Structure 1
Amino acid sequence: MKALKLMTAALALVIGGQASAATNQEIITHVSYNVITATYVELAQATVSLKQAVDIFVQNPNEATLAQAQSAWRGARMPWEASEAFLFGPVDSLGIDPMLDTWPLNRLDLDAVLASGRTITPDMIRSLGTNLQGFHTIEYLLFGDGIHSNTKPLSAFTTKQFEYLQSTAQVEMEHAAALAYAWTNRWNPEDASAPGYAVILATPGWNNQFYTSEAAVLEELVKGMMAIADEVANGKIADPMGGDIGSANMALVESPFSWNSLNDFTFNIRSIYSVYTGTYRTSQGPGVKALVERHNPQLAQQIEQHILGCMQLIQNIRPAGGGDFGQAIFTPDGRQRAQQAIQALNQLHAVLEQQVLPLVDK
């Protein structure tokens, strides 16, 4: 009942269009329920659709069902990547992040499992390391080699690959469902009295074991935005680039087989935009921007535009002749565009750290 009242209050705030005058508690309530929890619920639903598409493909493999399974993978990828500004709470404490999204993939061991006589089942997948399951295992099995093409001929699929696809999609769906349940119903599976984590985040106070004040929650949100801006700039983009073209490393590119890397990075920054503006899908309400507006309306607007600009710069990395990030880093102009994105993302990180984070205590 308490969670329902908080969500109702958040929705009333959105309908009333009072985002610019929002209190810290109103920001926290809206982001907790209508951004973060909504993202995880969508992820859970999307992984169900992915499992269904994989099953249909395996039962009737043809070009159309393969395309549908590939589309479903990309569809599930969107809410996951759009959650990376808030990788705290159950996704961390329950160890769900690595089970969903470990990269790089252990291709050597994966190929060994596929070549073995072992029966591949969900139970077997659960017993394997995190770099042998999750999004990127499914991606590797569904798409091309990622170097010359992101397509895969039907003739390349084996019975073992079909088994692995179905089993991994099943386990992926279970992990996503557990994450959504942890936010909506019970964050600690070992404690029957534990509420959904959305309640924990939305109700800071002296008796809250994680967040004793509104400032503590706002700090968590701002630091989450800072972390993913840094990771995209100096990890996901910079690491595969190396120091020069000669040291560029395709093996470090995330989502290379599907040529989905740039979309991944864009949705990572979209997660910053969601927390900052309070906007997710059709839901609009107060985000961290409302906090900044109380102190400096011009800065608040500039930051929003900077976030949007970073997303566009990431998309601009895409090679004009086709391909994705993994191809762009091997060309001088692609690397130059990537450096522009890195610079803008580092500037965004600095603004969040130096001009937004100090506001949480004011």
Structure 2
Amino acid sequence: MVEFRPFVSKAPLALLAGLLVVGCAENKMHADGATSSSVSRNFVENLVLPSYRLLAEESGALEEALQTLANNPTDAHLAAARQQWVETRPLWEITESWAFGPAETEGLDGDLDDWPVSVLELKQAFATDPFTADTFSRLGTTSIGFHGIEFVLYGDGQRAADLTPQQTAYLALAGAAFHDTAEQLLSSWTGADGFGAELMGDPDGTVLEMIEGAIGTLEEVHLEKLGAVLEEGPEVLESRFSGTTNTDIVFNMVGAQRVFEDTGLKQLLTAKDAGLAEQLSESLAIGLSAAEAMPSMLSQRLDDPAVVESMETAIEATESTFNLMTRALETLDSF
């Protein structure tokens, strides 16, 4: 029997709890009179910036864990590096609904999270001796970031004794590059000249961009992260080596929900169409529940009808939410 439980570490949940509490507090503050200015400020100051601070902090811990493993490749250090990868991963996935601006224009999204991983390119690179910083610099985005690191940590039932000098050199370089990119992302949104300030200077445009960001996440989930897998097979699963695709999707849904529920955006929509606002709120909750019902290790379970059914349920729920979010965009863009 399949156990329908998401593979979610307690640590990122604890870290995110503080972020979400802040969002809920601000949501209540603006519930009676949300404006585009209050929504955009709440979005930047109480959702985006705290999330990127957490990501930068945990990416530093990931860099350290990978460097430790590279210096001394033991099973204990491999387990610690895997655990830190799992701790860091949701802190990025929750931000996908606001992966616009510098994440897109400066290529930071791709450097952190391009997929599916290029297994062939990595294997070819690991055949070079020695593996140097120059070797690493020539890799494409599908060979670095979360998924390149994931492949080396988890691929082919990896044990510490199996790690080659090329792979340990890669892990040290990839960890440092990942941390640097996360720091760049935070910096790009911060301060008077940052993208966050730019957004708050155009609150009406920001409200629409917030909705478009959530729409993009919902579309990617139902079409690419799940739909494409049922059509093409496990090779296109996003986090297939660690078996945590389900957790990715849980936090994608949490991020979209936070944009709507915890910034005052729901109140803005309620003022224009209360019925649509309530429908969307309920649909986001249903979509999140459907994501939470999917099991881990999807790549090994696609021949199980119960697992496929759980994925199809999540696709249907997410697509429905996508359609409602699109209507919300049209409603708010028409005033």
Verify the 8 A CA contact 2:208 2:329 in the aligned structure 1: no
Change (3 A) 1:315 1:14: closer
Verify the 8 A CA contact 1:85 1:225 in the aligned structure 2: yes
Q: Distance in 1 between matches of 2:228 and 2:196?
A: 34
Verify the 8 A CA contact 2:291 2:314 in the aligned structure 1: yes
Q: Distance in 2 between matches of 1:339 and 1:153?
A: 34
1:292-349 deviation digits (Å, cap 9, x = unpaired) = 232344543442232122122122221xxxx522233232221122111111111101
Give 1:31 deviation, angstroms. 0.3
Give 1:120 deviation, angstroms. 2.3
* Alignment match, 2:39: 27
1:165 has 2:171 as partner: yes
1:156 has 2:154 as partner: no
Which of residues 295, 305, 317 is equivalent to 1:344?
Answer: 317
Q: Distance in 1 between matches of 2:32 and 2:247?
A: 30
* Alignment match, 2:109: 97
Verify the 8 A CA contact 1:215 1:361 in the aligned structure 2: no
Give 1:140 deviation, angstroms. 0.5
1:238 has 2:227 as partner: yes
* Alignment match, 2:14: none
* Alignment match, 2:58: 46
* Alignment match, 1:317: 294
Q: Distance in 2 between matches of 1:90 and 1:14?
A: 25
TM-score by length of 2: 0.87
Q: Distance in 2 between matches of 1:346 and 1:38?
A: 28
Letter in 2 for 1:163: A
Q: Distance in 2 between matches of 1:119 and 1:143?
A: 20
* Alignment match, 1:291: 268
Give 1:183 deviation, angstroms. 0.5
Letter in 2 for 1:316: A
Q: Distance in 1 between matches of 2:183 and 2:87?
A: 16
Q: Distance in 1 between matches of 2:155 and 2:264?
A: 40
1:131 has 2:142 as partner: yes
Verify the 8 A CA contact 1:96 1:175 in the aligned structure 2: yes
1:264 has 2:276 as partner: no
Q: Distance in 2 between matches of 1:346 and 1:328?
A: 23
* Alignment match, 2:182: 176
Give 1:20 deviation, angstroms. 3.8
Cα RMSD of the aligned pairs, angstroms, is 2.1
Verify the 8 A CA contact 1:55 1:166 in the aligned structure 2: yes
Letter in 2 for 1:202: M
Q: Distance in 2 between matches of 1:48 and 1:119?
A: 23
Verify the 8 A CA contact 1:57 1:69 in the aligned structure 2: yes
Verify the 8 A CA contact 2:212 2:329 in the aligned structure 1: no
Give 1:101 deviation, angstroms. 1.2
Q: After TM superposition, which residue ranges in structure 1, 4 or more long, deviate above 6 angstroms?
A: none
Which of residues 274, 277, 280 is equivalent to 2:261?
Answer: 277
Secondary structure in 2 matching 1:143? helix
Verify the 8 A CA contact 2:129 2:166 in the aligned structure 1: no
Unaligned segments of structure 2, at least 5 residues: 1-21
Greater C-alpha Rg: 1
Verify the 8 A CA contact 1:183 1:197 in the aligned structure 2: yes
* Alignment match, 1:249: 233
1:78-100 deviation digits (Å, cap 9, x = unpaired) = 12111111221101111111111
Verify the 8 A CA contact 1:240 1:252 in the aligned structure 2: yes
Secondary structure in 1 matching 2:151? helix
1:229 has 2:226 as partner: no
Secondary structure in 1 matching 2:252? helix
Verify the 8 A CA contact 1:277 1:287 in the aligned structure 2: yes
Secondary structure in 1 matching 2:109? helix
TM-score by length of 1: 0.81
1:185-226 deviation digits (Å, cap 9, x = unpaired) = 47xxxxxxxx0110001111xxxxxxxxx3321111111111
1:125-184 deviation digits (Å, cap 9, x = unpaired) = 233211221110100011143xxxxx5322221221111111111111111111111001
Letter in 2 for 1:223: E
Q: Distance in 2 between matches of 1:238 and 1:15?
A: 33
Letter in 2 for 1:340: T
Q: Distance in 1 between matches of 2:264 and 2:29?
A: 12
Unaligned segments of structure 1, at least 5 residues: 1-9, 146-150, 187-194, 205-213, 243-247, 279-285
Among all aligned residue pairs of Structure 1 and Structure 2, give the percentage whose two residues are the same amino acid: 25
* Alignment match, 1:190: none
Q: Distance in 2 between matches of 1:356 and 1:289?
A: 12
Letter in 2 for 1:156: D
Secondary structure in 2 matching 1:64? helix
Higher relative contact order (CA closer than 8 Å, sequence separation 6+): 2
* Alignment match, 1:211: none
307-316 vs 258-267, greater mean Cα deviation? 307-316
Change (3 A) 1:144 1:105: closer
Change (3 A) 1:263 1:20: farther
Aligned residues: 313
Change (3 A) 1:355 1:182: closer
90-99 vs 301-310, greater mean Cα deviation? 301-310
